[in-house]
Structure 1
Amino acid sequence: MPFDDFNTAQPDPAIEAEIDGLLEELTLEEKVYMMSGHGFHYYFTQVDNRQFGQRAYAAGSGCERLGIEPLYFSDGPRGKRHKEATTCFPVPMARAATFDVDLEERIGKAIGVEARALGVTLSGTICINLLRHPGWGRAQETYGEDPFQLGEFGAALCRGVQAHNVIATVKHFAVNSVENTRFKIDVSIDERTLREVYLPHFKRTLDAGCGSVMSAYNKVNGEYCAHNRHLLTDILKGDWGFNGFVHSDWVLGVHGVDAAEAGLDIENPEGVKFGKKLVAAVNTGEVSQQAIDQAVRRILRTQMRFAREPDPREYSRDDLACEEHVALALEAAEKSIVLLKNEGILPFDRRQLSTLAVIGRLADVENLGDKGSSRVTPPYSVTILEGLRKLVGADIEILFDDGSDHDRAVAVAEAADAVLCVKGFTWKEEGEFIPGDEALDSDDPNSRSTSGGDRHHLRLRPEDEALIGKIAARHSKVAVALVGGSAIMKNAWHMDVGAIAMTWYSGMEGGTAIARVLFGDRVPSGKLPFTVPKHEDDLPFFDPAALEIEYGPLHGYTKLDAEGIEAAYPFGFGLSYTQFEYGAAQVKLTSDEIVVEAKVTNTGSLRADEVAQCYVGFPGSAVDRPVKLLRGFERITIEPGESATVSFTLSPRDLAYYDVASKSWRIENIRYAFYVAASSRTETDKAAHLDAPAHWSGLSFPA
């Protein structure tokens, strides 16, 4: 890959020398101009009727006198954000459920191609904030609760996007896991938790060559992220050797000129706190000239390195939502669906069904995810109802009811051979919190209203739970398709139905994918990228209105493991239409790595994919550590009756913990446990054990 060494090698001497010359020639005003975006407010208020993301915005750099182009920014974790129709992929949380990093890299390449077709050179595509609590409103934009998985998917998306010479931005740095109060909340966190839980995925993505970082709105230990020297300078640019630039989140991401000294290089989307105020601050000595020159150097270094890499192909509007990209969206949707329960209901059998009742308004509406910065407008989208009707044609009669009248819906269900209830959420109930000052779904300013945000509880609406119960009481063949971006509690009704599938916000071809899986044309293979507890009280404390909160080291499966609590559906869980059996783990040691292997056998009758997961445990640790941590995963295809051996290569650092006293990563001289399993619910009797090699014991690694 052309940029995989961007943050791990020394900058190009020729480019650095050229930048030296430009810094001599640029005036202070021109340098400061390059440290902010320009034109956003004009387009937003005067041209685009307060509709965000209608174009690529000038978001830093640019000097007309010297022929330096601005950076042009577009958002888009699930496709390019633009007024033109682009490919809408399933939301990142759905793609995380595939556990397929090769697929994610291919999606990144498609997004990179469409970015170039739209003139985008800076893409806000990679959201890897950790899902501390599934009530977080923007859960759908990230990849789940585990730092290792977040890092692998962030790195894959980065490689894909940057393969087409688009600078990728990873966001939001850092510790951003509450939505409603994201502009003000102060997160208290100790250094070890910060390094071990909330930052590793950012470093993994930067080690893959990511060229830019977006700072978060929130505070960390009393300092706003865009002003947090410890995050931006000490860790990011110091400890990690990041060579690119840092830009702020939009509109309310910067609070004063001191951000420039802390390590923020660009204020977006306009120079409100920088601009003339920053020029004045330099002239009075409040901000150093060195800080300005360092910021401009980072901007130019990144821009020049990416702009001068030969393009792998040409780009045009024909690339937008092209056949290849749409097929990729369909593949992702098919692989993402997680089968949570199945008592012989699924797959629906065409030979035995003459009628299928589909109950719930969400089956018949476009439901692609939130309508904030990640919104994508594809040329079309296939609803669940459309997908089912297209698949079965005239062979099976589809009886639809929106569920608004429970008596009517129950009667429709009773008249069918089987029932599919489609329940969940839309952009109105979860997603980016949009205050009531932006018209995101209408051209009528009077229709503006607050939408999205954090969920106050994880259950379906009471009326939806009640309808599922009523239908299940009158019919023996009921499946539920859940639509949403994160965990949904099922306590009130899961025992009453025969099958449950998590279908996510599944993108423009979602209806096609869901129909194929429900009818067995595709075998479900998705796995949960988060833990669904039996009780919400088993999760960390979460308050959408909080202005202060403390983040500890445990959440998700690490918290339930430590407390000995069983999950309703553990991290990594997902059923299939076939069955898999895992053999005992085997561990091999070489001089500088550990190889963990296990045999996986398809004991069922269908060819299918399985996601094998590798965990490392720390029994006997003298340091307070999780019971186990994910350290690898592999998606494999196995024929019925056959076996495959999965292999995971671990480095010494995979065993290490962060030692605050020495400010380094250290390895304990203990016996480690290694598990290979179908989910985080591992079987201890199939674990392999290994003492830390003598030459590893006490090893330390830079922070």
Structure 2
Amino acid sequence: MFQKACNLSETQIHEEAVQLLKKMTLKEKVFVLSGNWKMIRDSIVYKRTYNPVAIESHGCKRLGITPVAFTDGPRGVVMGHSTCFPVSIARAASFDRELEREIGEAIGKEARAQGANYFAGVCVNLLMHPAGGRAQESYGEDPYLVGEMGAELVRGVQAHNVMACVKHYAVNNMENRRFYVDVDCSERTLREVYLPHFKKCVDAGCASLMGSYNRFRGDQASESQHLLTEILREDWGFEGFTITDFIFALRDGVKAIESGMDMEMPLPVHFGLELKKAVKDGKLSEKTIDQAILRVLKTQLTFENTPDPISYDKSLVACPEHVALARRAAEESIVLIKNQGDVLPFSKDCKMVLVIGHLASEANTGDHGSSNVYPPSVVTALEGIREKFGSLTEVIHVGEAELDRIKELAPKADAVIVIAGNDYNDEGEYVMPDSDINSVALMGRGFSNNGNRILGALMSKVKASNAGSYTSDDGKPVGGDRRNLSLRQSEIKAIRAAGELNKNTAVVLVSGSMILTKEWEDSVSAILYGWYSGMEGGHALASVLLGDVNPSGKLPFVIPSDESQLPQVDFFEANAITYDFDHGYRKLDRDGSVPAYPFGFGLSYTEFTYGKTAAAMDGECIVVKTSVKNVGQRAGDEIVQVYVSVPKSDVERHVKQLKGFARVALAAGEEKTVEIRIPFEELKYYDEKTNTWVLENAEYVFFVGPSADPEQLTGISMRLDEAWNLL
């Protein structure tokens, strides 16, 4: 059962769902499994086509079955004017499970306050390559970190009886070709690299999963029997329901529902009346529809019969408590990767500060696709810096292209802050397929299958232009996968010019993924990742730059020394792709490559030392203990990380992989003992010959330290007893 506090037993829920099912007509059944998007109404009434209010399924009014009321995410609730949190990859940099659960609770409250009961914003697609356009919506390149953070978001959202939807299932790791690409990988790679984070969310009790657009081994992922039934339900025991990604996920409605896809959203392009006809024509068993209906009804009944912990009204939306949480998340997310000569934090007594970059004055909270949140206000970097320094400091802002002004002002400034990186033009969701898929006609088909044949016929006659993605003011497509992993040349020139003239120069990188630094990093003293930092990002950044907040974030990806160290992926032409066993820091480890900055790396304004490390068995876990001491002059948070290696394994293993972490707060001079529990399940590998998970009787090395850098890690070895193989 998803909600342990439900007033009804599983048996009672099943019986009630069966009784409702018996009363339903076939038409009512197929409509319960179909979205009922009021797209035109939303465009006219709310002046926003996508999700200004909940996107609902039909439900069944006659029988009192409420619709699934959908809101998107994950940087907050897309509906209305909700709290905008930092993007997920920024929150991953906090390595703070408790914080992510609190954010989930805030999202759950704001969803309920605005009429939604379903949050489709738990995005756990792996960052297979940093060019992936939707990197900002997930939690980085490591399956363990992604799974831990995603599971906490699920728990937080569902604490307020909002059904959490985990997406995009599965192997969805590129944008521009996501509607076309056919993905393959070994079964072991699938199970160990691209699915464990989904399973963690299932184990956390998620109510729903959303299928992805891409194909998998020749089938649409949303029509894959292997993914939807054999793995999700038979192997993992998932009891909730599945939905499609919007409009373009299916090619064959009968195949999809027979494979385990339960609901088509936001319109029934292949469900609705089309499924009814398939039953009448003998092409689909009504029992298959009944099975999907029961999964939906049982999930809804569970949530609807769980007591609410609070009452929900509009005053919760972007309330002071949630805005403060957004600021805390932004503060914990900032990663300091360079601080030569301890140039940071800047003195509050600066008389003149130069801020460089057009992004400094923009409300730059992330991409403009389905995850876009519309907060009541956004504090820009420039606004935050000006407010923090106060009226006695002259803060001058220039664009990165104004080289003459930069060269004139940089030598005179007490501090130089360069805000550089990306915005929604450079990366994000690639919303629509190219012109060979007539998106408007498909939506027309969806309206027809919803019973609105007049509107469907009108839309089906419209030939969509090359929509690509949303477009900018000049009509050019925006978003999609990144074509450039570095900064713009204008930004690089500005950084070099300022850094050469003023040693007190700090670069703040704004992005949803990795940015290469080798072209310019030697020119400046300090570099930080500021991310798409949400509505309070400007305040958070200023607090870190001036030392009111000690930076504590860690990189959720590796920064390579050179782009050649990354997997070679064709993001713009690929029709088929095979995923390797290694990517990110695991690939660099395998290849013996030295990164510019390792996975899990991040500096502080204080220093930490690690003491003796020990490991012991406790039940079905390995408990790793270490002591951490703050040997600096100010309080700070350290993120202790545990990596596991099996150097003499009988099968190919990653050189090392993250399997535990803990965030610990330490006052100046304080020392604490940290315990990190690693379940045996995290140590197993998938045996393709037997289709089972194997706990190998071998030597395991548990490395403890502040990052994946081998020079910063201390290892302790343990060998498992023969008896452990029986557990």
For Structure 1 versus Structure 2, the TM-score category normalised by the shorter chain is over 0.9
Which of residues 109, 134, 153 in structure 2 aligns to 1:113?
109
CA contact (8 A) 1:605 1:641 kept: yes
SS, match of residue 341 in structure 2: coil
CA contact (8 A) 2:401 2:490 kept: no
Q: How does 1:91-106 map to 2 (within 5 A)?
A: 91-106=87-102
CA contact (8 A) 2:552 2:638 kept: yes
Counterpart in 1 of 2:452? none
Which of residues 563, 569, 590 in structure 1 aligns to 2:597?
569
Counterpart in 2 of 1:666? 694
Counterpart in 1 of 2:484? 457
CA contact (8 A) 2:40 2:49 kept: no
Counterpart in 2 of 1:294? 291
Cα displacement string for residues 171-213 of structure 1 (whole angstroms, at most 9, x for unaligned residues): 0000010011111111111110000000001111111110000
The residue type paired with residue 635 of structure 1 is R
Distance 1:216 1:527, change over 3 A: same
Structure 2 Cα separation of the partners of residues 685 and 2 of structure 1: 39
Structure 1 Cα separation of the partners of residues 353 and 97 of structure 2: 36
Deviates most, 375-384 or 475-484: 475-484
Structure 1 Cα separation of the partners of residues 46 and 155 of structure 2: 32
The residue type paired with residue 97 of structure 2 is V
Structure 2 Cα separation of the partners of residues 220 and 415 of structure 1: 58
SS, match of residue 69 in structure 1: coil
Q: How does 1:403-482 map to 2 (within 5 A)?
A: 403-435=400-432, 437=467, 448-482=475-509
Question: 1:111 deviation in Å?
Answer: 0.3
Distance 1:340 1:131, change over 3 A: same
CA contact (8 A) 2:706 2:712 kept: no
Counterpart in 1 of 2:660? 632
SS, match of residue 598 in structure 2: coil
CA contact (8 A) 2:378 2:534 kept: yes
Structure 1 Cα separation of the partners of residues 237 and 119 of structure 2: 22
Question: 1:273 deviation in Å?
Answer: 0.9
Which of residues 61, 77, 90 in structure 2 aligns to 1:80?
77
The residue type paired with residue 452 of structure 1 is G
Deviates most, 549-558 or 345-354: 345-354
Question: 1:543 deviation in Å?
Answer: 1.6
Counterpart in 1 of 2:11? 13
Structure 2 Cα separation of the partners of residues 685 and 89 of structure 1: 33
Structure 2 Cα separation of the partners of residues 441 and 130 of structure 1: 26
Which of residues 516, 520, 529 in structure 2 aligns to 1:493?
520
Question: 1:350 deviation in Å?
Answer: 2.7
Which of residues 34, 37, 47 in structure 1 aligns to 2:35?
37
* 1:375 counterpart = 2:403: no
Question: 1:500 deviation in Å?
Answer: 0.2
Question: 1:554 deviation in Å?
Answer: 0.2
SS, match of residue 481 in structure 1: strand
Distance 1:217 1:91, change over 3 A: same
Distance 1:352 1:46, change over 3 A: closer
User: Sequence identity, in percent?
Assistant: 46
Deviates most, 304-313 or 467-476: 467-476
- Mark the runs of 5 or more structure 2 residues left unpaired by the alignment: 433-465
Cα displacement string for residues 491-523 of structure 1 (whole angstroms, at most 9, x for unaligned residues): 110011000000000000000000000000010
CA contact (8 A) 1:50 1:439 kept: no
* 1:341 counterpart = 2:338: yes
Q: How does 1:289-688 map to 2 (within 5 A)?
A: 289-350=286-347, 353-435=350-432, 437=467, 448-545=475-572, 546-683=574-711, 686-688=714-716
Counterpart in 1 of 2:463? none
Counterpart in 2 of 1:65? 62
Distance 1:655 1:11, change over 3 A: farther
CA contact (8 A) 1:588 1:594 kept: yes
Structure 2 Cα separation of the partners of residues 536 and 686 of structure 1: 29
Deviates most, 489-498 or 339-348: 339-348
Question: 1:651 deviation in Å?
Answer: 1.9
Q: What is the TM-score when the length of structure 1 is the normalising length?
A: 0.95
Cα displacement string for residues 68-119 of structure 1 (whole angstroms, at most 9, x for unaligned residues): 111110101001001x211000000000000000000000000000000000
Counterpart in 2 of 1:56? 54
Question: 1:581 deviation in Å?
Answer: 1.4
SS, match of residue 527 in structure 2: strand
Question: 1:351 deviation in Å?
Answer: 5.6
CA contact (8 A) 2:2 2:302 kept: no
Which of residues 277, 281, 284 in structure 1 aligns to 2:281?
284
Distance 1:180 1:122, change over 3 A: same
Counterpart in 2 of 1:3? 3
The residue type paired with residue 527 of structure 1 is K
Structure 2 Cα separation of the partners of residues 345 and 467 of structure 1: 22
SS, match of residue 305 in structure 1: helix
SS, match of residue 453 in structure 1: coil
Question: 1:51 deviation in Å?
Answer: 2.7
Question: 1:412 deviation in Å?
Answer: 2.4
Question: 1:45 deviation in Å?
Answer: 5.6
Which of residues 154, 174, 181 in structure 2 aligns to 1:178?
174
Question: 1:414 deviation in Å?
Answer: 2.5
SS, match of residue 369 in structure 2: coil
SS, match of residue 261 in structure 2: coil
Distance 1:409 1:685, change over 3 A: closer
Deviates most, 416-425 or 99-108: 416-425
SS, match of residue 353 in structure 2: strand
The residue type paired with residue 623 of structure 1 is V
CA contact (8 A) 2:469 2:478 kept: no
SS, match of residue 433 in structure 1: coil
The residue type paired with residue 637 of structure 1 is A
The residue type paired with residue 103 of structure 2 is I
Question: 1:447 deviation in Å?
Answer: 5.8
Structure 2 Cα separation of the partners of residues 390 and 474 of structure 1: 26
Question: 1:134 deviation in Å?
Answer: 0.7
Question: 1:404 deviation in Å?
Answer: 2.7
Structure 1 Cα separation of the partners of residues 724 and 204 of structure 2: 26
CA contact (8 A) 2:470 2:478 kept: no
Question: 1:591 deviation in Å?
Answer: 4.2
- Mark the runs of 5 or more structure 1 residues left unpaired by the alignment: none
Counterpart in 1 of 2:213? 217
Structure 1 Cα separation of the partners of residues 522 and 147 of structure 2: 36
SS, match of residue 341 in structure 1: strand
Structure 2 Cα separation of the partners of residues 220 and 351 of structure 1: 55
Counterpart in 1 of 2:447? none
Structure 2 Cα separation of the partners of residues 277 and 44 of structure 1: 25
Distance 1:199 1:4, change over 3 A: farther
The residue type paired with residue 142 of structure 2 is D
CA contact (8 A) 1:2 1:309 kept: no
Structure 1 Cα separation of the partners of residues 5 and 720 of structure 2: 30
SS, match of residue 168 in structure 1: strand
Question: 1:565 deviation in Å?
Answer: 1.0
Counterpart in 1 of 2:20? 22
Structure 2 Cα separation of the partners of residues 553 and 427 of structure 1: 31
CA contact (8 A) 1:583 1:686 kept: no
Distance 1:351 1:256, change over 3 A: closer
Question: 1:583 deviation in Å?
Answer: 2.5
Structure 2 Cα separation of the partners of residues 118 and 171 of structure 1: 22
Structure 1 Cα separation of the partners of residues 429 and 469 of structure 2: 14
Question: 1:346 deviation in Å?
Answer: 3.6
SS, match of residue 571 in structure 1: coil
Cα displacement string for residues 527-586 of structure 1 (whole angstroms, at most 9, x for unaligned residues): 001111101111111221112111011011111111111111111000001111122421
CA contact (8 A) 1:50 1:438 kept: no
SS, match of residue 272 in structure 1: coil
